[in-house]
Amino acid sequence: MPVTIVTGGTFGLGTSIALQLAKRGHNVVAFGLRQAQVSSTAAGFEAFEAEVERQGLAERLEIMEADVSRSDDVVKVVDRTLSRFGRVDGLVNNAAIGPLGTVLDTEEGLFDSIFAVNVRGTYLMSKAVLPHMIRQGGGSIVNIGSGAGYGKPNMAAYASSKGAILALSTAMAYDHFHDHVRVNVAIPGGGGIVSGMSVGRVGGDEAFFKSRKVAGTVAGRPADGEDLANAVAFLLSDDAATISGTVVDVGCFANQGGPVPVKQ
């Protein structure tokens, strides 16, 4: 069984990814913080623990409390993964916070927190697992990006952090090409995705995504966590053995300035 770590795996989209991977046969270590994250309405730690038990996945899905922006916590997660499962084959860098705001109305402390989680967290986790993947002969890293990474209004700090993820991912894909470590980006949303972060940005109104106010996807509906999880599972799998340095857009046109306009 492949062994995969999911950061931010205890909230929102991360829970969908962790559950989907476990159901597909991965041994998973999902970690995050217990408290609700800024601007997110995602259900908490306890709700995820209950869902793991309900689906009978506790044998291959371990939940840990840890802060991705702290190097000692990251080491603790990797050490636990190795002690329980013996290896690390995959890493999903999903942990992120995304409050809205322009440069003018984003406080310095909040700006630093966004980069600490979204960028430093990705760097710390990748740095911690890469030696093990290289020693094993390869692995796969999937970084969760955003259409905001190409620039969107009222998302100055979040957009710049996700732009950094695009650049970091491509650099890592080049650097570890000959180590057989694949590094790709999955972008959720585009036409709107139902997640704790996106729902939080519209005042907690999930019905907003079922209205005519969002374009949704080519499937005729907004994307959800399972859609993203399916793409992540593919990128981690042997079916994607030759794919690295690629952006998979789960939400239609997010990497081309999308989403598409709402149908009038």
Q: Which residues are catalytic?
A: 158
In 3D space, the residue among 223, 220, 225, 204 whose CA is nearest the CA of residue 262 turns out to be 220
CA nearest to 140, candidates 30, 9, 232? 232
* DSSP SS3 for 72: helix
The residues pairing with 6 across neighbouring beta strands, listed in sequence order, are 30, 92
Residue 157 neighbours by CB distance under 10 Å: 23
CA distance 202 to 69: 27
Six-digit token pair at 43?
Answer: 């259900």
Q: Torsion angle of alpha carbons 97, 156, 141, 22, nearest 10°? A: 30
CB 208 within 8 A of CB 144: no
- Unique residue bearing structure tokens 């620039």: 151
Q: Is there a contact between 141 and 93 (Cβ–Cβ < 8 Å)?
A: yes
Q: List residues bridging with 249 in a β-sheet.
A: 187
